[in-house]
């Protein structure tokens, strides 16, 4: 594989990885891809933990230095690579953009992670069964994620937890639609990091519960999603193929 200054460690179906991939493609930044199989716990190997002690994806390594947390990464990419700017010039719109980045991390992520992991948990059964469970859990660096994987081993999320996620999905859709009735894009009339931050989560909701996007009340959101999907960066990031391993790993 070509040795590039920019290296991305990421997951195929990971919403946060899709966010970073789309940003890189929007900015026309070439990168070296390292896809990890998250259900085989490759994000918990000592080699990966050396660059991201949290044991999560994505991680961007640029000029030999790791940058972690997807919203921080896309902000960093836009700062470092000046072409095709993705931050609004207007200070107020830039503030709105940052609020959407925060919302994507604090709310939208929580709306999709339980149904996503519930759908993919069968791929993790080998590492969560029998004597392998203790070994798997011992490699997970944070208590919150150890608890989550232990929950997967014991049958997954409860019906109440899944329903709470579905309720949060609808809250996210309604909030985005409310803004998109006022402006073409989430932070104003310019496509920005705000849209990149939210797209993976809205797309995931549309894949898991397509009926949630039906009805006249979300027309502005559906129009936004259709326009976003027309951008060349969307298919490159979401139906990612620029890694020989992409065909082996599940996508949602």
In this prediction, what percent of the chain has a pLDDT beyond 90? Answer: 81
In this structure, are 72 and 133 located in the same domain? Answer: no
Q: Is residue 1 part of a domain?
A: no
In this structure, are 63 and 99 located in the same domain? Answer: no
Q: Please give the mean pLDDT across all residues of the chain.
A: 94
Q: Is residue 203 part of a domain?
A: yes
In this structure, are 141 and 65 located in the same domain? Answer: no
In this structure, are 17 and 112 located in the same domain? Answer: no
Residue 15's domain spans which residues? Answer: 6-86+239-248
pLDDT tens figures, 159-199: 999 999 999 999 999 999 999 999 999 999 999 999 999 99
Packed helices 193-208 and 15-26: angle between N→C axes, nearest 10 degrees:
140
In this structure, are 101 and 52 located in the same domain? Answer: no
User: How many other CB atoms sit within 10 Å of the CB of residue 53?
Assistant: 12
Instruction: Judge contact between 13 and 201, C-beta under 8 A.
Output: no
pLDDT at 135: 84
Q: Among 30-44, 50-64, 120-134, 175-189, which stretch is predicted with the lowest mean pLDDT?
A: 120-134
- How far apart CA 42 and CA 24 sit, in angstroms, is 23
Q: Is residue 76 part of a domain?
A: yes
Q: What is the mean pLDDT of residues 243-247?
A: 97
pLDDT of residue 6 exceeding 70 = yes
In this structure, are 82 and 183 located in the same domain? Answer: no
pLDDT at 33: 98
Q: Is residue 179 part of a domain?
A: yes
Domains contained in the chain, number: 2
pLDDT of residue 77 exceeding 90 = yes
In this structure, are 40 and 151 located in the same domain? Answer: no
In this structure, are 63 and 129 located in the same domain? Answer: no
In this structure, are 184 and 203 located in the same domain? Answer: yes
Residue 114, domain CATH: 1.20.1050.10
Residue 26, domain CATH: 3.40.30.10
User: How many other CB atoms sit within 10 Å of the CB of residue 150?
Assistant: 14
Q: Is residue 54 part of a domain?
A: yes
Q: Among 29-43, 103-117, 134-148, 195-209, which stretch is predicted with the lowest mean pLDDT?
A: 134-148
- How far apart CA 192 and CA 189 sit, in angstroms, is 9
Whole-model pTM? 0.95
pLDDT at 1: 35
Name the band, by pLDDT with cuts 50, 70 and 90, for residue 2. Answer: very low
Q: Is residue 33 part of a domain?
A: yes
pLDDT at 20: 98
pLDDT at 5: 92
- Burial bucket for residue 65 (CB in 10 Å: 0-12, 13-18, 19+): exposed
In this structure, are 42 and 107 located in the same domain? Answer: no
Instruction: Judge contact between 188 and 159, C-beta under 8 A.
Output: no
In this structure, are 100 and 71 located in the same domain? Answer: no
pLDDT tens figures, 99-135: 999 999 999 999 999 999 888 888 888 878 777 888 8
Q: Is residue 21 part of a domain?
A: yes
Is 240 strand, coil or helix? coil
pLDDT at 201: 98
65-68 β-sheet, strand order: 32-36, 6-11, 59-62, 65-68
In this structure, are 152 and 172 located in the same domain? Answer: yes
């Amino acid at each position: 594989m070509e040795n590039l200054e920019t290296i991305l460690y990421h997951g195929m179906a990971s919403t946060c990885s899709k966010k970073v991939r789309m940003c890189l493609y929007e900015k026309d930044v070439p990168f070296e891809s390292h896809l990890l199989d998250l259900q085989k716990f490759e994000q918990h190997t000592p080699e990966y933990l050396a660059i991201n002690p949290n044991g999560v994806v994505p991680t961007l390594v640029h000029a030999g230095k790791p940058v972690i947390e997807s919203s921080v990464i896309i902000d960093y990419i836009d700062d470092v690579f000046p072409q095709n700017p993705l931050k609004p010039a207007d200070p107020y719109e830039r503030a709105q953009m940052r609020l959407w980045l925060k919302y994507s991390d604090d709310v939208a992520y929580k709306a999709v992670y339980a149904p996503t992991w519930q759908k993919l948990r069968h791929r993790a059964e080998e590492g969560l069964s029998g004597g392998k469970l203790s070994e798997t859990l011992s490699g997970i660096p944070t208590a919150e994620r150890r608890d989550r994987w232990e929950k997967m081993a014991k049958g997954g999320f409860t019906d109440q937890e899944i329903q709470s996620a579905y309720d949060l999905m609808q809250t996210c859709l309604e909030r985005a639609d409310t803004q998109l009735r006022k402006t073409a894009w989430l932070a104003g009339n310019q496509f920005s990091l705000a849209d990149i931050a939210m797209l993976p989560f809205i797309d995931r909701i549309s894949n898991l519960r397509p009926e949630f996007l039906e009805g006249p009340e979300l027309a502005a959101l559906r129009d936004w999603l259709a326009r976003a999907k027309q951008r060349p960066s969307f298919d490159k990031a979401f139906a990612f193929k620029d890694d020989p391993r992409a065909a082996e790993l599940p996508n949602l």
